[in-house]
Amino acid sequence: MPEFNAPLRDMRFVLHEVFDAPTLWARLPGLADHVDADTADAILQEAAKVTSQLIAPLNRSGDEEGARWQAGKVSTPKGFKAAYDTYIEGGWVGLSGNPEFGGLGMPKMLAVQFEEMLYAANSSFALYSALTSGACLAIDAHASPALKSTYLPPMYEGRWAGSMCLTEAHSGTDLGIIRTRAEPRADGSFSISGSKIFITGGDQDLTENIVHLVLAKLPDAPAGPRGISLFLVPKVLVNDDGSLAEANAVSCGSIEHKMGIKASATCVINFDGARGWLIGEANKGLAAMFTMMNYERLSIGIQGIGCAETSYQNARTYARERLQGRASNGAVAPDKMADPIIVHPDVRRMLLSIKAMTEGGRAFASYVGQQLDLSKYSTDPQEQQDASALVALLTPVAKAFFTDTGLDSCVLGQQVFGGHGYIREWGQEQLVRDVRIAQIYEGTNGIQALDLLGRKVIANGGVALRLFTAQMREFAEQPDKPYARQLLQAVQQLEDLSDWLQARAKADPNEIGAASVEYLQVFGYVAYAWLWARMADVAQRSMPDDPDFYAAKLATAKFYFNRLLPRTASLEQSIRAGCESLFELDAASF
């Protein structure tokens, strides 16, 4: 049975050496007094134990058994409830939550490392608490003090869970056409009626209550997305003293039978005059919900990194042990019947591709976490503003690029196994199935690409983009930085391509949709180039301290610049071909 071992050495390298996170935390009010390098290392060490020893062993059995629905109730697979009870005893749900309501208040830079471990160990299990963390974020940012004090403490504790109820059978990306209604009640609450689909964790047997965040429309709401409000609708109503009362008019109509993440319940949730409470202002619910959605988009991106890490660990072990054929330049293991397959160039290509993209993604996720911490805790208004702009720019990249390349990495890891990769007990085919959804939910990757190019680059004239590329240039223009020439060329390529698309979109708006996916890919590869150059810089300077680790880091950086970054050339050529060929075929001819 495959085993997961958290990549603690690499996580510490990224946090402490590449980003010097403890120094950052020491200057940020709200973090300085309760987190330092030792605290972070202790949390990561304990997280590694919890994910590898408690949660990972349930991954395959959970996939085989799946979540079950019977008579309106959902049961999670055997072992999930006991593991969840142990999990919440450690306070993991509230790791980065508001300490005022029982959260631990840890920085996002640390939380993203934990989330990666969780998804790597068991994506289905991870989703139950990921939705709760996101719901807590939206409640903390937008709800009334009374709602916060009632709902946040038991949610951070993990006794209550959260869900996000957006999608309806006829309304996916176009939320402006939702039909769920909210009628005002005399006591200030609302009566919520409608049906939502694809609700992750919409029902389960892990917690005593589920707090649904529901998009609905008031009777006098304007048409379209400007008429959406956000409501808090608990599965079980809550008394004034915080104890549970009677069941609300909320029911689970069914669960979906899915390709992957089978132990995660994906539900149809019906609201039949359920009592709910307004979060934030009326008709401004979409903005409030995006607080949760943007958190979830980064989290789901990290699912791509986590699954890729597990695929890599499995494939690496197999490649070292599996004997097949001889090395092309002579036997490496002449005392054995054949050489291990890791001697073969194509196997090395696959393993290095996974390694380079996963470690690059880990660094990028940490960078986005850094910007989230700065946007929340910095006392410098300009620094806070810049960090918020970078978070908005980079969130769609993180979600889409992590998951696109995460699927690629899981497929490559499966390929290393040959025929055994197609067999269930090796675990590789499950990773392919589990990670595939990450390109779809929380906004498909095509939507993320449109958001990046259309809203975050072209709509504001590339202001946030220049903020990001300025950081890359600043690094590359320092003396003696590794890969500086290649990095500067890549940055210039991204800026030139952005300017070209800005001009083209004025003449034909279809250019945005035609180029957006390839543009996001170029953006991702260039961003990783910057991070790989930074990692190589640290590795060069630190080589005597841990020669094996840093030599591996330098070799992987070289592979990235030589074999992966050049992909941007073909992507650019595709973009500059324009949108015309997409529209020469009429719909009837497809």
From the candidates 115, 429, 442, 572, which is the catalytic residue?
442
The first and second tokens of residue 212, run together, are 């649904």
C-alpha dihedral over 193, 195, 196, 200, to 10 degrees? Answer: 90
pLDDT of residue 121: 98
Report field, pTM of the whole predicted structure over 0.85: yes
Query: How confident is the model over 157-196, as pLDDT tens digits?
Result: 999 999 999 999 998 888 889 999 999 999 999 999 999 9
pLDDT over 70 (residue 548)? yes
Task: For 124-164, write each residue's pLDDT tens digit.
Answer: 999 999 999 999 999 999 999 999 999 999 999 999 999 99
Mean pLDDT in residue range 18-25: 98
Is the predicted pLDDT of residue 1 greater than 70, yes or no? Answer: no
**Structural domain spans, the chain:** 444-584
Mean pLDDT of 479-497: 98
Q: Is pLDDT above 80 for 2?
A: no
User: Is 321 known to be catalytic?
Assistant: no
Indicate the angle between helix axes 108-121 and 285-321, nearest 10 degrees: 60
Measured CA to CA, the distance from residue 76 to residue 436 in angstroms comes to: 21
At 173 the pLDDT is: 85
pLDDT in tens, 260-302: 999 999 999 999 999 999 999 999 998 888 888 888 899 999 9
- Binned at pLDDT 50, 70 and 90, residue 565 comes out as very high
pLDDT at 230: 97
Q: How many helices (H) and strands (E) does the chain have?
A: 18, 11
User: In the chain, what's the furthest Cα-to-Cα distance?
Assistant: 84
- Of 46-50, 142-146, 221-225, 432-436, least confident by mean pLDDT is 221-225
Q: What DSSP element (H or E) covers 266? A: strand 266-279
Under 8 Å CB-to-CB from 570, ≥6 apart: which residues?
none
Q: What percent of the chain has pLDDT over 90?
A: 96
Measured CA to CA in angstroms, residue 168 lies from 100, 111, 195, 438 at distances of 35, 31, 7, 19
Let me know: does 47 contact 114? Beta carbons within 8 Å. yes
Pairing outcome for strands 229-234 and 209-216:
antiparallel
Instruction: For 44-104, list the strands marked E by DSSP.
Output: 68-70, 73-75
Q: Regarding beta strands 266-279 and 229-234, do their DSSP bridges make them parallel or antiparallel, or are they unpaired? A: antiparallel
For residue 258, give the nearest of 73, 430, 442, 419 by alpha carbon.
430
- Strand partners of residue 230: 215, 279
Pairwise CA distance, residues 190 & 185, whole Å: 5
Mean pLDDT of 509-514: 96
Tokens (6 digits) for 497: 């391509």
